[in-house]
């Protein structure tokens, strides 16, 4: 089954890391791509240029995923300027680690607001038009922390587990409308998010990865692109770990 060309994809948190790699990979596959970011306008502009050079239309929009109205505006602009949204990828996310004993309310709410409410806002803004057209697919980026839990990350693990429950419920709800929803759950991926980890934490993590290295953002993007394609037409409600075996 060949992929239909000229699909439109919307990627949250597209300016850096895994989201950035997904923008480029989806553009390579012929998608027109809109992506949002929160603050790093230089990174967003550079990506807009790089992805447009692949011969597709690219739209970078500053929109904080915690702001429902801004996200609705992002979806509307995407539909107006690029056309109906076929693929939604939610990659915007942060960490703010602390043992529960020291966790501040601000850390808790910040992580839940961006990582979980953000996914809700993006999917909520896109779902009605997809249901009307009876097609579409959603790929939400969770984490192995959402499946197994990570010490010092109760906030992050809860947000990422929430994404898995959300996506499974959405797969049941939207499946009858021809919409698929899946989760990608990465392990340690080499991005800005993990570059701040202290040496000791990184060394311990590397020792527990059977493949002996961190993953690359483009490897996660390959999985996202596969799930966005017609080759994954019978896959919905699934969680795909991409972690070099760290969870075995
Ligand atoms: P990253 O390199 O830090 O990039 C995060 C991206 O999200 C940036 O484009 C950032 O935009 C955007 N973003 C953050 N807060 C936002 C907000 N409120 N509204 C809109 N955009 C926002 O992170 P990453 O490593 O690529 O992570 C991407 C996703 O993968 C996250 O959901 C993360 O939890 C998940 N993940 C990552 C790893 C890993 O090892 N890296 C492992 C498992 C899961 P600005 O630059 O403008 O702030």
* Selected catalytic residue, list 156, 177, 226, 234: 156
**The pLDDT of residue 111 is above 80:** yes
Tell me if 217 sits within 8 A of 13, measured CB to CB: no
Alpha helices in the chain (DSSP H): 17-28, 41-52, 68-81, 105-112, 118-133, 144-148, 154-174, 192-195, 199-207, 217-228
- pLDDT attached to residue 174: 98
**What residues have CB less than 8 Å from 166, skipping those under 6 apart?**
116, 119, 120, 123, 140
**The pLDDT of residue 3 is above 60:** no
Structural element, H or E, at residue 60? strand 58-62
Ligand 1, residues at Cβ distance < 6 Å? 12-13, 15-19, 36-40, 43, 64-66, 91-94, 114, 141, 143, 186, 188-189, 191-194
Provide the edge-to-edge strand list for the sheet that holds 136-141: 58-62, 32-37, 8-12, 87-90, 136-141, 179-186, 239-242
**The pLDDT of residue 79 is above 90:** yes
SS3 147: helix
Q: Tens of pLDDT along 123-157? A: 999 999 999 999 999 999 999 999 999 999 999 99
**The pLDDT of residue 121 is above 90:** yes
Kindly tell me the burial class for residue 69, based on how many C-beta atoms sit within 10 Å of its own C-beta (0-12, 13-18, 19 or more).
exposed
What is the C-alpha separation between 218 and 183, in angstroms, rounded? 17
Q: Which of 42, 44, 36 is nearest to 11 (CA)?
A: 36
Residue linked to tokens 């942060």 = 94
Tell me if 193 sits within 8 A of 214, measured CB to CB: no
Q: Which of 146, 154, 92 is nearest to 123 (CA)?
A: 92
- Residue 108 phi, psi dihedral angles, 5° rounding: -60, -55
- Residue 153 phi, psi dihedral angles, 5° rounding: -135, 45
- pLDDT attached to residue 1: 38
What is the C-alpha separation between 134 and 94, in angstroms, rounded? 32
Residue 198 pLDDT class (50, 70, 90 cuts)? confident
Q: How many CB atoms lie within 10 A of CB 115?
A: 29
Residue linked to tokens 């429950």 = 165
Please provide the average confidence, as pLDDT, over all residues in the chain.
Answer: 96
Dig out the tokens for 72 from the structure. 């609705």
Nearest CA to ligand 1 atom 24: 17
**What residues have CB less than 8 Å from 53, skipping those under 6 apart?**
none
Does residue 156 have an active-site annotation? yes
């Amino acid at each position: 089954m060949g992929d239909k060309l000229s699909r439109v994809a919307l990627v949250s948190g597209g300016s850096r890391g895994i989201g950035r790699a997904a923008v480029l990979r989806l553009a390579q596959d012929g998608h027109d791509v809109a992506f949002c970011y929160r603050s790093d306008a230089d990174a967003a502009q550079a990506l807009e240029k790089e992805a447009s050079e692949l011969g597709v239309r690219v739209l970078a929009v500053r929109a904080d995923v915690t702001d429902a109205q801004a996200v609705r505006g992002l979806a509307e602009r995407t539909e107006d300027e690029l056309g109906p949204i076929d693929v939604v990828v939610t990659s915007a996310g942060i960490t703010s680690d602390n043992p529960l004993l020291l966790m501040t309310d601000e850390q808790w709410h910040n992580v839940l607001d961006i990582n979980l409410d953000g996914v809700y806002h993006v999917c909520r803004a896109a779902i009605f038009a997809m249901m009307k057209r009876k097609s579409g697919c959603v790929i939400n980026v969770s984490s192995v922390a959402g499946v197994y839990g990570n010490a010092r990350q109760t906030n992050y693990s809860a947000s990422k587990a929430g994404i898995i429950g959300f996506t499974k419920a959405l797969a049941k709800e939207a499946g009858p409308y021809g919409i698929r929803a899946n989760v990608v759950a990465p392990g340690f991926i080499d991005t800005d998010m993990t570059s701040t980890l202290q040496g000791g934490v990184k060394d311990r993590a590397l020792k527990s990865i059977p493949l002996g290295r961190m993953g690359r953002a483009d490897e996660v993007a390959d999985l996202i692109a596969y799930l966005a394609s017609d080759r994954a037409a019978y896959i919905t409600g699934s969680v795909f770990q991409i972690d070099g075996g760290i969870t075995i």
